Amino acid sequence: MKIQQIALVFMATLIAHCAQINKEEIAGETPATTNPGGGGGGGGTSTLNAQLATGVVDAPCNGHTGDGCQSSFSDPTKVTSGVKGAGWGSGSFDVYSISESTADGGKYATLILDWQGGTVKNVPGLDFIVYENAFEYAGTYGTRFMDLIIVSVSQNNTDYCGWPVEYKGKKGSDSLADFQNGSLTGDKNAYSKWPEAWIHFAGKSPTAWNKDTNPMSYDDLFATKTTEYYNTATPPVLMYSRTDLKGGGDGFDLDNLTTDAATCTATVLNNIVTNGFKYIKLQAARSLINPDTSALYPHEAISNGPDIDGVLARHVVP
């Protein structure tokens, strides 16, 4: 989501989801009573050495025109120099944008980072967080704008293992009632704005952490909060609740790696789980084939590629 597209985003998304928003307004719903008591999501002791990924290994949109690259957002130092989230309701511009193009095997839809020789270890709970600039355009659940990312990690930048990604699909008109009605499974060729439908993807969650204007401790960044959304009835009725990382972003645990990728043998996987990884690859989901449908993953109609603000690892060793 880029600065010049905000107006378009609001127009398109409001038009697309007009029926639901109106329904919510008629119901008198008010968003966001935040209850930060959700408990820890990570290892959380001060002996851990959290670090941002500071090495740019491959950022093909840097200096490249075309193939979906965007010259205004092709500076990869925006990823490595700090996370500057813009909060739950808007997207940061301190980002490097990958495209959604399938050209050259998805080259321009890929970003590879490292910790400049450091190894990201597997600690209890989440091991790293990917920060993108997702946001909730109407300030409440069910109005999230996302650019989905598929994440994988490697020790040698050749043999990558990823997570068991699964897209659950869009149900009905993608309303809360549709989403909550029975199983999550819907039309996997249509896009759902519910982050819960996108299992083990990044690019789902807004970023609250901003190193300048909203500094947070590493322990807090790896901890969770639960937000409950009530309507204005008397007494108020809980409409929805959602658990997120306190600083936003999407967290990953090496204990959940899978051998799904062709480059990920059991040996490679066990080595990463036991010893850690050095490289992280971020790919636009839209540039990749969903094995469930044999088609590209669907995306928000106005999406043009994920916008990556930074990647924070929980424990890095030399």
Report if residue 100 touches Ca ion, rule: CB under 5 A: no
Half-sphere exposure of 316 (CA within 13 A, CB side): 18
> Nearer to Ca ion by C-beta: 29 or 101?
101
Contact region with Ca ion (CB under 5 A), list: 53-61, 158-166, 234-242, 303-311: 303-311
Distance CA 265, CA 259 (A): 6
Nearer residue to Ca ion within complex by CB, 122 or 152: 122
Smallest gap from Cβ 159 to Ca ion, in A, equals 19
Please say whether the beta carbons of 273 and 267 come within 8 A: no
Q: Which of 94, 174, 220, 300 binds Ca ion (CB under 5 A)?
A: 94
Contact letters for Ca ion, residues 56-85 (x by CB under 5 A): ----------------------x-------
Query: Which among 6-14, 142-150, 241-249, 273-281 is the span making contact with Ca ion, rule CB under 5 A?
Result: 142-150
Closer by beta carbon to Ca ion, 249 or else 310: 310
Give the one residue of 307, 312, 313, 316 binding Ca ion; rule: CB under 5 A.
Answer: 307
Ramachandran sector of residue 47 (left: φ over 0; alpha: ψ -120 to 50; beta: rest): alpha
- Using CB under 5 A as the binding rule, whether residue 127 contacts Ca ion is answered as yes
- What's the CA gap between 304 and 306, in Å, rounded? 7
Closer to Ca ion by CB, 133 or 224: give it.
133
What string of DSSP letters covers 64-83? Answer: --BTTB-GGG--THHHHS--
Give the number of residues in contact with Ca ion, rule: CB under 5 A. Answer: 12
Q: Name, in order, each residue with C-beta under 8 angstroms of 120's C-beta and a sequence gap of 6 or more.
A: 127, 128, 153, 276, 277, 278, 280, 313, 314, 315, 316
318 preceded by a cis bond (ω within 30 of 0): no
Least distance (Å) between residue 30 CB and Ca ion: 26
- DSSP for residue 298: P
Query: What tokens were used for 269?
Result: 């996987």
Name which of 42 and 60 has its Cβ closer to Ca ion: 42
Among 29, 147, 159, 244, the residue binding Ca ion under the rule CB under 5 A is 147
Give whichever of 147 and 220 is closer to Ca ion, judged by the CB atom: 147
Q: How far is the CB of 180 from Ca ion (least distance, A)?
A: 26
Whole-angstrom Cα distance, residue 254 to residue 272?
8
Contact, 133 vs 92, CB < 8 A? yes
Binding status of residue 114 toward Ca ion by CB under 5 A: no
262: left (phi over 0), alpha (psi -120 to 50) or beta: alpha
Q: Answer yes or no whether residue 1 interacts with Ca ion by CB under 5 A.
A: yes
Which residues from 273-292 bind Ca ion, rule CB under 5 A?
none
Nearer to Ca ion, 239 or 288 (CB): 288
CA distance 162 to 143: 28
Residue 304 engages Ca ion in binding (rule: CB under 5 A): no
Q: Which is nearer to Ca ion, 163 or 171 (CB)?
A: 163
Note the residues at the interface with Ca ion (CB under 5 A): 1, 78, 94, 122, 127, 133, 147, 253-254, 307, 309-310
